[in-house]
Structure 1
Amino acid sequence: MPSMTHEALVELFKNRPTLAAEMLQDALGQPVPAFTEARIVSSDLTEIMPSDRRADVIVVLLVGEQQQPAMAIVVEVQLGVDPEKPYSWPVYVTQTRARHRCPTWLLVVAIDAEIARWCARPIDMGHPGLTLTPLVLGPEGVPVVTEAAQATAAPEVVVLSAMAHGQGEAAEAIGVAFLAAAAGLDEERRTVYWDLVLSSLNAAARRTLEAIMKNYEFQSEFARSYVAKGVEQGRLAGLLEGKAQGVLAFLEARGLEVPAEVRERVLASTDIAELDRWIRRAASVGDARELLATTGS
């Protein structure tokens, strides 16, 4: 099941159809043909395939009065290693090329440097001379956007910048730049993008931005709703952390060793019902791993 981060990245490319071409040309230095329109088209590639095939985003660059396809870009967001991708990605490229009758490139977006390196490995198709080398947009290729004007002109790029560089020294400047762009967004995009940016920034930058939002003299409805939402989320986070610590304390009090993977899974849970179930189970399991292996109550 795709994660929220995966779906959010996909939405960036859908909301700004030119983004794929911009990243290919500006970030990766790949020549993109002149075009008059970038259009998001159906990513369903099951037309002649026996199994379900669906790319994340497919963009077709159109040219001329007749809006003829000049190039297609298959955009795939990759957050982890998936051994199936070297088999499905070539299918996406060939199917898209056959459908739109134009050169087709594969752009893989990976915000983790290690995953980006894995994605960039050439895919040997087995036929002499036929190798597909994905074009990968990793964190080093994403621009560091710290200027308000640049952020306002391309809000999706500043969101990408926060996701790629939000743990570095430029985090605060990136966040402030996004605030300048947020005013021009519709409510839905503004809320989604703000959540993405804030969750991507380091703790110091996040505190700075939260203070700006709270102390800004003329708060928009978005700012007011964000502050209220933050308070509620803070209460929920405290409750979740307390229950998670209770599960671990119970296991340890019974003398059970708690492996790192169990501890991480418990602390990462955002499901109150799940944590309550684990608290009950912690009283009877003989091994801490059994806590995660059972679906019972």
Structure 2
Amino acid sequence: MVSSPHEAMHRIFQEYPALFTSVAEALGVPFGTLVAVTPLPTDLTETRPLERRLDTLLRFETEEEGEFLLAVEAQSKRDPAKPASWAYYLSYLYNKYGQHPVLLVVCQDRATAEWASQPVHFGPPQWASLILRPLVAGPHNMPVITQETEARKDPLLATLAAITHADNPDVGAILKAVSSALGTLPEKLSIPLAELVSQGLGKRPVSEQWRNLMAVDTSFYTSWISEEIREEGREQGREEGHHRGLAQALLLVLEGRGIAVSEQQRERITACEDSEQLNQWTRRAITAESTAEVLGQDAPDEEPSSEEDRH
């Protein structure tokens, strides 16, 4: 099953192909000035009933190097079978399009990134007929951007860096910098980038921190995440309204029976957020002689029935 972080790590290149220019420079392998990009089909299935599919495939055109293909693969863990698949992808792409392919592997785990970075030799020890050398972007080489000014310089790279550093101890500062930077961008860019960060974080605990950062100012963030945040707020409001209604009903019962309620007791009732507790107090209020009795021990039928049960 494809995970959300998996999708985010390669889909960002589908949405913003120019990001590869920044990534390549960060990796120390510049590819020249980008002229044009063309999305290509990712299905590499042959006539045999064996499906092979890349995560993302793009055709790049540069002023200096001409055209080349970029295959982007998101990798979440070591997979001994992957190098053979990647080698097949590259050979197939070169055969199909007649253009040189480049494989970029994006990881969130340092160990996986370092594994993917190792060249793989295909052939006997005496002579490798094929050597696989992927470019790898991961927590081992992506910049740690914790300043808004740096994030604003290249928000695409900052977004990918935040995704690849999802498990970094300083991810809180990274997310804060990205959030602040996105708040200064046009909605057509800030919204999808914010979604990609959320998707890239997946179900990690830090995703809650990102949601909180988004909740501070959702004016530029009107996507499904912000709507989810607002819905949670509405749900919380409905829940709080329900509790207030139960508390008011209890106070009305006490008032109707002429039972005095001190300020401290009133605060305890109105502060209660347990619906079952409020209902229990209300049932007691029908026959109780004082508010202390209502808020005191459990009803008699809930108390131990014998001396033995009390011990």
Quickly name the TM-score band, shorter chain normalised: 0.5 to 0.7
CA displacement 1:51-109 (0-9 Å, x = unmatched):
21111111211146xxx952212111100122221211011111112223222221111
Q: How does 1:169-248 map to 2 (within 5 A)?
A: 170-179=170-179, 180-182=181-183, 183-186=185-188, 189-190=192-193, 192-196=195-199, 207=209, 210=212, 213-214=214-215, 216=217, 219-220=219-220, 222=222, 225=227, 227-231=229-233
Evaluate the alpha carbon distance shift between residue 214 and residue 6 of structure 1 in structure 2; reply closer, same or farther with a 3 A threshold.
closer
Residues 167/80 of structure 1: CA separation in 2 closer, same or farther (3 Å cut): closer
Alignment pair present for 1:26 and 2:25: yes
Amino acid at match of 2:195: V
| 2:102 is the alignment partner of 1:102 | no
Query: What's the CA shift for 1:165?
Result: 2.8
Judged with a 3 Å threshold, the aligned counterparts in structure 2 of structure 1 residues 95 and 38 are, in CA distance, closer, same or farther, namely: same
Structure 1, unmatched stretches of 5+, are: 235-297
Map 1:3-152 → 2, pairs under 5 A: 3-23=3-23, 25-47=24-46, 51-63=50-62, 70-126=67-123, 128-129=127-128, 130-152=130-152
What whole-Å deviation, never above 9, does each CA across 1:137-183 have from its counterpart, x for those lacking one?
A: 12121122234355345433222222233444643332233223155
**How many angstroms apart in 2 are the aligned matches of 1:207 and 1:50?**
45
Distance 1:196 1:2 in 2: 12
The Cα RMSD (Å) is: 3.6
For 2:136 and 2:53, locate their aligned partners in 1 and report how far apart those are by CA, in whole Å. Answer: 19
**Identity rate of aligned residues, in percent?**
26
Equivalences, count: 229
Tell me the SS of whatever aligns to 1:117.
Answer: helix
Measure the CA separation in 1 of the matches of 2:134 and 2:12: 20
Q: CA deviation at 1:36?
A: 0.6
Shift of 1:15: 0.9
CA distance in 1, matches of 2:210, 2:20: 31
Matched residue type, 1:227: I
CA distance, structure 2, for counterparts of residue 233 and residue 133 of structure 1 = 51
Segment drifting more, 144-153 vs 12-21: 144-153
What amino acid does structure 1 have at the position aligned with 2:29? Q
Letter in 1 for 2:52: R
- Alignment CA distance shift 1:85-1:192 (3 Å): same
Q: Which amino acid aligns with 1:98?
A: N
Summarize the Cα distance change of 1:89–1:232 in structure 2 as closer, same or farther, 3 Å threshold: farther
What letter is aligned with 2:171? A
Higher RCO structure (Cα 8 Å, ≥6 apart): 2
Moved more, 184-193 or 27-36: 184-193
Amino acid at match of 2:70: I
Cα distance change on mapping 1:231 and 1:195 into 2, 3 Å: farther
Q: Tell me, what secondary structure is at the counterpart of 1:60?
A: strand
TM-score by length of 1: 0.63
Q: Distance in 1 between matches of 2:122 and 2:86?
A: 11
Find the aligned partners of 1:162 and 1:109 in 2 and give their Cα distance. 12
Checking the alignment, whether the CA contact within 8 Å between 1:152 and 1:184 is kept in structure 2 is no
State the partner residue of 2:265: none
Distance 1:148 1:154 in 2: 10
TM-score by length of structure 2 reads: 0.61
CA contact (8 A) 2:187 2:221 kept: no
Give the aligned residue type for 1:143. P
